Amino acid sequence: MDYYSLKMRASQQVLTGSEKKEQHISGAERIVTKESVEDVCKAMIRRAMTHSKGEPDFINVKIEKIQAEDIQVLKALPVTRVDVNSAEEGLNWAYKLLRDAVVENGAELTAMAIEDFTANLKALLRETFPMRGAMLYDIATGTRLEPDRARGVRATYMDALHSSEVDGKKNHFNEAIVLATKVANAPGIVAELCISDDPNYVTGYVASKTLGYVRIMKMKEMNDENGGRIFLFDSRKASAVECIQYLQQQKVLVEL
Ligand code: WAQ
Ligand code: MG
């Protein structure tokens, strides 16, 4: 069977003072069979042009053929949910679960109390807001490992197995469970924190092989476009090069 990888990214030039900057609007990616390429492509363009972040003036669509034998099939992480009354409560849940994941992973939080861990994550999260990719944070050394800090690391080449769906609208949950499953299986990854940067989507999640995929129903206020992703990584378990290579190159289909 022939498979194709499809990637779309859309952006807009914004004027800040006298400087023109490219602002990211929307991105999507799929791995589909040959018959679906055209329809999925069309749906991607529709999605880019109807995004809540604004109208793009640049859309890039990339189509690549990939070999079926290069694709790894992964079972989706099990899903649970946490209902909360406020964004603050949601964030506190996230920090607590992440700390559990870090501890359970055998990584010693060298005398790092939960308050310190939380304060640290809060500060890191703020730094992710302008990024298009994720922060790769080494819990062993307390350093960031992204080669390009402004951009971050992007997980690519992934989709749900047997997805023939051609939908111009983004399904946040479906895309997130696919990404989170791939990320949780990358060498050295301990856990992930995610908050959407879409202003009208307040549900986020934390995920890891031990936690599964935990949806946290509110992690920010409505109309807030500050979102981001942090991949917690342990450099004692794998090298950053190996991890980034997996995130950016390994083709993955996730069985939901
Ligand atoms: N690789 C790494 N980081 C990414 C990627 C990627 N492929 N795509 C997005 N990011 C980063 C980027 O910095 C974004 O600003 C941030 O993550 C959020 O991305 O169960 O919609 O695509 O209902 O806005 C969660 C669903 C949806 C929760 C998350 O993220 C649920 C979402 P978004
Ligand atoms: Mg977004």
Within this chain, do residues 105 and 138 fall inside the same structural domain, yes or no?
yes
Question: Has this prediction a pTM greater than 0.85?
Answer: yes
Indicate the pLDDT class of residue 117, thresholds 50, 70 and 90.
Answer: confident
From the list 153, 137, 141, the residue with the least C-alpha distance to 189 is: 137
Block residue for tokens 């946290």: 216
- Residue 204 and residue 239 in one domain: yes
Average pLDDT taken over every residue of the chain:
93
Instruction: Identify whether residues 152 and 225 lie together within a single domain.
Output: yes
Instruction: Name residue 31's amino acid.
Output: I
| CA 21 remoteness from chain centre | 23
Task: Give the three-class secondary structure for 98.
Answer: helix
Amino acid occupying residue 125: L
**Is 65:9 a contact under the CB 8 Å cutoff?**
no
Atom of ligand 1 nearest to the CA of 131: 13
Listed residues 14, 47, 71: the one ending a domain: 71
Same domain for 174 and 62?
A: no
Nearest CA owner, ligand 1 atom 10: 133
Q: pLDDT tens digits, residue range 78-90?
A: 999 999 999 999 9
The number of domains in the chain is: 2
User: How far does Cα 25 stand from its chain's mean position?
Assistant: 15
Is pLDDT above 70 for 109? no
Q: Considering only CA atoms, which residue is closest to atom 14 of ligand 1?
A: 228
Please give the residue range of the domain that contains residue 65: 2-71
What pLDDT is attached to residue 131?
94
Which ligand has the nearest atom to the CA of 216?
A: 1
* Pair 108, 202 in one domain: yes
Q: Is 144 exposed, middle or buried (0-12, 13-18, 19+ CB in 10 A)?
A: middle
Burial label for 115, CB within 10 Å (0-12, 13-18, 19+), is exposed
Q: Which protein residue has the closest C-alpha to ligand 1 atom 15?
A: 228
Name the domain boundary from 29, 47, 71. 71
- Based on the domain organization, do 104 and 38 belong to the same domain? no
Instruction: Name the domain boundary from 25, 43, 71.
Output: 71
Q: Are 44 and 124 members of one domain?
A: no
Whether the pLDDT of residue 112 is over 60: the answer is: no
Q: Which of 172, 250, 254 gets mutated to test ligand 1 (max ligand atoms within 8 A of its CB)?
A: 172
Q: Clarify whether residues 111 and 184 are in a common domain.
A: yes
Q: What is 57-75 written as a DSSP string?
A: SEEEEEEEEE-GGGEEEEE
Residue 62 and residue 80 share a domain: no
Q: Which residues line ligand 1 (CB under 6 A)?
A: 128, 131-134, 152, 154-155, 172-173, 176, 179, 194, 196-198, 201, 203-205, 215, 227-229
pLDDT tens digits for range 196-244: 998 999 999 999 999 999 999 999 999 999 999 999 999 999 999 999 9
- pLDDT value at residue 206: 98
Tell me: do 31 and 83 sit in the same domain.
Answer: no
**How large is the average pLDDT for residues 114-125?**
90
What integer pLDDT is reported at residue 11 of this predicted model? Answer: 95
pLDDT digits (tens, 9 = 90+) for 18-73: 899 888 888 889 999 999 999 999 999 999 999 878 899 999 999 999 999 999 99
Residue 111: is its pLDDT beyond 60?
Answer: no
143 shares its domain with 30? no
Shared-domain flag, residues 53 and 79 = no
Give the pLDDT confidence of 138-197 residue by residue, as tens digits: 999 999 999 999 999 999 999 999 776 666 567 899 999 999 999 999 999 999 999 999
Residues near 226 by beta carbon (within 8 Å), at least 6 away in sequence = 126, 129, 195, 197, 220
